[in-house]
Amino acid sequence: MPRPMDITIRRAQLSDISAMASLGATAHLHSGLTKFLSPYVFTFVGDYLYSCERRIRRRMASARNVTFLAIDSASGNPIGYAQFLRFGCDPAAQELITQQSTWALRVLQPIVTIREFWDSWMFKDRSVDPVAAKEWEKILEEDDYWSEYKRMWYVQSLVVSPGHQKRGVGSRLMRVVLERAEVEGVVVGLEASPEGEALYRRLGFVLLQRFKNKLGDWENEQGGVFLWEPPGYIRDN
C-alpha cells in the first residue's frame, strides 16, 4: 500500500482555478458520468477543460463556498482540491457569509455573472451530448436529497490527482470540513462515485440511498448518496 504523503492544505485562490480544473478534468476523464455526459471529450478536450474552470469559478464566487487545495510538500505542486458549500441560516452559517463577504468577493461576483452570461451565448461545450445533459438535469431536479436538512455542509467536489490517490490526500481534505461540521453541530452530505465510496465509508459516512438506474449503460452497484453526522447530532425539526 502506498505510503501517506507529506502535504499542505491551504485555501484556494482565484489564481489556482486553472490548476484545479486540470486536476478535475484528469481525475474524472474516465468516470462513468463523464462518459455519459461528455462522449466527445477526447475530440474537444479544450471545451471540457473550460467547462471545469467555469464550474469551479462559479462556486468560488459564493460567500457560502470554501475551497481548499492540497499541495505536495516535496514538489510544491497542487495534487488535489475540495469545494464545500454551507447551507443554512444558523449563526455559524451567517458568520461564514459575513467573513467571506469581502471587497474582493463583491468585485468577483458581478464579473462571474457577466462572464457566465457571455459564455451562455458564445460558448458551447462540444464534448457534451445535449440529450444526455438534459436527462441528467431532469434527474437532479427530481432527486432532491437534501431538502430536509436545514443546516449542513455539502461536498461539491473532492478531487485527487490519479497518481496521488490512496495516499491520504482525500482524507486530509475531507477532515477540514468534518472538523468544522463537528464544531458547528451540522451534518455533511455528498454524492459518492463508485471509486470514492470506500473513502467516505472509512470517514464515517453512511449510505442513504443508491443512485437510481436511469442512465442506460451508466449504472452500478456502488456509489450513491452519503451522510455524515457529528457525535450527538440532533436532527432539525
The pLDDT value recorded for residue 137 is 79
Mean pLDDT to the nearest integer, 147-155: 92
Tell me, letter by letter, the H, E, C secondary structure of 141-201. Answer: HHCCCCCCCCCEEEEEEEEECHHHCCCCHHHHHHHHHHHHHHHHCCEEEEEECCCCHHHHH
Mean model confidence pLDDT for the chain = 90
Instruction: Parse the chain into domains and list their residue ranges.
Output: 7-228
Mean pLDDT to the nearest integer, 215-237: 74
Highest-scoring range by mean pLDDT, 1-5, 32-36, 131-135, 177-181: 177-181
In the CATH scheme, what is the code of domain 7-228?
3.40.630.30
Whether 72 has a pLDDT exceeding 80, the answer reads yes
User: Tens digit of pLDDT for each residue in 107-140?
Assistant: 889 999 998 899 888 999 999 999 988 887 777 6
The pLDDT value recorded for residue 209 is 85
Q: Which residues contact 6 (CB under 8 A, 6 or more apart)?
A: 72, 73, 74
The pLDDT value recorded for residue 30 is 86
The pTM assigned to this predicted structure is: 0.91
Range in 53-57, 125-129, 158-162, 192-196 the model is least confident about: 192-196
Q: pLDDT above 70 covers what percent of the chain? A: 92
The pLDDT value recorded for residue 217 is 53
The pLDDT value recorded for residue 232 is 84
The pLDDT value recorded for residue 4 is 73
Whether 213 has a pLDDT exceeding 60, the answer reads no
- Per-residue confidence band for 235, with pLDDT thresholds at 50, 70 and 90: confident
